[in-house]
């Protein structure tokens, strides 16, 4: 299952953008040989939010492009 949450309002995202993200996640899982059920969540946030998340979870008070967390 792929969950996508858009938590920002700086960039207008359309259905095709969400489809592109889902396709990229699916292709990555295929390329990595994942043949079991997984759940992937993608959260799209602004710079302020990702900085706060990075500080809370990693102790780094800095913006970043991507954060990933194993479950």
- Mean pLDDT score of the chain: 95
pLDDT tens column, 16-42: 999 999 999 999 999 999 999 999 999
pLDDT at 49: 96
In a domain, residue 18? The reply is yes
Can you tell me the mean pLDDT for 2-29?
A: 97
43 and 7 Cβ atoms separated by less than 8 Å? yes
How many CA atoms lie within 13 Å of 38's alpha carbon, on the beta-carbon side? Answer: 15
Q: Which domain holds residue 9?
A: 2-58
Q: Please tell me the total count of domains within the chain.
A: 1
Q: Is 69 part of a structural domain of the chain?
A: no
Q: Over 90: is that where the pLDDT of 5 sits?
A: yes
**Longest Cα pair distance anywhere in the chain, in angstroms?**
37
How far, in Å, are 24, 37, 57, 58, 67 from residue 33 at the CA level? 14, 12, 29, 29, 22
Judge whether 67 lies within some domain. Answer: no
pLDDT at 70: 80
**Domain membership flag for residue 65:** no
Helix (H) or strand (E) holding 3: strand 2-6
**Would you say residue 71 has pLDDT above 80?**
no
């Amino acid at each position: 299952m792929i969950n996508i949450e858009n938590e920002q309002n700086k960039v207008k995202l359309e259905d095709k953008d969400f489809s592109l993200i889902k396709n990229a996640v699916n292709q990555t899982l295929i390329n990595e040989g994942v043949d079991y059920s997984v759940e992937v969540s993608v959260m799209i946030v602004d710079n302020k939010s990702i900085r706060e998340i990075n500080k809370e979870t990693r102790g780094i008070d800095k913006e970043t492009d991507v954060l990933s967390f194993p479950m």
